[in-house]
Chain A
């Protein structure tokens, strides 16, 4: 496994503006100290947190102490791993024994974890330094970034707009260069939505590729863990560290983990990309439609072959996905919902109640259909390396217009925003959301590349080749 600074990447004056790959290499080679990297991130956090609310907890003293320890270790010839001394923060739902993970909630705000997330532990073992914990939607159950306990996270491109959720802080913090990368989770679009709305790269992984042990559950059938970062190559670095079998999570695949970083060197020659002929191209915001057309043209120019694909009925997949998510989330939360209902925000409480109204037979039918539904999808995309589709039909809406709490219209709004992400969760497929353009108002637009099961390497290959042709991922929100 090798990392390299791109020849075209000019060293920025602010170390926080490096990519994850660049920061890791710079620290290992002694060009940048871990303390300098941590100080750069902490300075930006101090400046921008009041505007963005991207963090739930900031731990400057501990971060600097850990950075100093990393520098001392390096001086003694000890390199802990690929990300030695690199400061990171993650969605506040990955348990670390001895620490509190709020899960964006009041209920978990005083519970000290007794176990540690395998995904987080594998990243920490590569030498990273903890900056704090990132904002998230309460119990990861919402796509906008609202949170009644911690206030809404705000979009770095325009703080009047939502970040997307539920990995709201991960999207905002990466976009604003407060952390080099961040972990998120995706059960109905929670990595892809903030990646799209905040203009960063996000990688929703195949169900079973990354261990979910020690991560807050929402739906045991649909939950996935994945990275958000500035580039897909940076996502590949975190995925390389996390992926693979875990005896603590028996749902993980035992298959060997591919070399995702090598995949990032590939080009688009011979790659076939499918464009759906329906559903994902219906009722699009005009600017999202424009970005889709421009992205298709770019991929063609770079050597990809574009074909039209007729996917099975996505509404049925979406309905099944909603049934499974509602029932499993309600089952997880039943005890607290009955004993502490007043401690939930209104929207999350209402959504958690939804699963109680679904007949058990409907839930089990939705689970039983998953295999044939995936088989039908794979047959429809035979010969296609990835399907390209908008991540959402619209750019980021405002915080005000989506602040609907637990009103009767809340679910319809949520379903509208997550229309293009839910089918993928039902099928358990890997999907990358990449920044592909901007609206005239300056809001980012992301598109998703939907792959075949465990074909993350193909998505990294296509995404990295696309990012070599474009500079949307290098754009950064202006500071006030």
Chain B
């Protein structure tokens, strides 16, 4: 999910993460994070299965040697 959130949705997610918010704070939070979520929405849900965060390092440092891997035998 990456789309603008309602105050109720944002408040519920925050509460599940351990932060209980008043309604007006949940509304402020939803207003603050929704532009970022909306901007990222075209990407969200489109990424291939075998893509993991470490791909960033492979793109950033293509010339660096990969650490030796132990022989599984």
Contact = CB atoms under 8 A, between A and B. Distances in A.
Q: Note whether A and B form a binding pair.
A: yes
Interface of A: 206-208, 253-255, 313, 315-316, 318-323, 326, 334, 337-338, 350-351, 353-354, 356-359, 361-362, 364-372, 374-375, 378, 406, 408, 410-412, 415, 428, 453-454
A357 B13 contact: yes
Given A316-B43, A334-B18, A365-B2, A411 B60 contact: no
A408 B60 contact: no
A357 B10 contact: yes
Q: Which 4 A-B pairs have the closest CB atoms?
A: A319-B39, A371-B55, A322-B36, A357-B10
Contact of A319 (B36, B47, B52): B36
- Consensus secondary structure, chain A interface: helix
Contact of B40 (A206, A254, A362): A362
Contacts of B5: 357
B56 A370 contact: yes
Interface residues of B, number: 46
B32 to A, nearest CB: 4
B60 A357 contact: no
Contacts, number: 142
A140 B37 CA distance: 23
- Consensus secondary structure, chain B interface: helix
B55 A255 contact: no
Contacts of B45: 365
A350 B32 contact: yes
Interface in B26-73: 26-33, 35-45, 47, 51-61, 63-65
Given A337-B19, A356-B19, A372-B51, A361 B61 contact: no
B18 A378 contact: no
A255 B13 contact: no
B45 to A, nearest CB: 8
Contacts of A378: 59
A323 B32 CA distance: 11
Given A354-B32, A357-B10, A378-B59, A362 B37 contact: yes
Contact of A415 (B26, B35, B53, B58): B35
B1 A362 contact: yes
A361 B1 contact: yes
Contact of B59 (A371, A410, A412): A371
A411 B31 contact: yes
A361 B42 CA distance: 15
A368 B19 contact: no
B51 A208 contact: no
B36 A357 contact: no
B56 A428 contact: yes
Contacts of A316: 39-40, 42-43
Contacts of B23: none
Given A316-B43, A356-B17, A368-B55, 19 more contacts: A254-B64, A318-B36, A323-B40, A326-B36, A350-B28, A353-B19, A354-B32, A356-B14, A357-B26, A358-B13, A358-B33, A358-B37, A365-B40, A368-B53, A369-B47, A370-B55, A371-B57, A408-B31, A411-B32
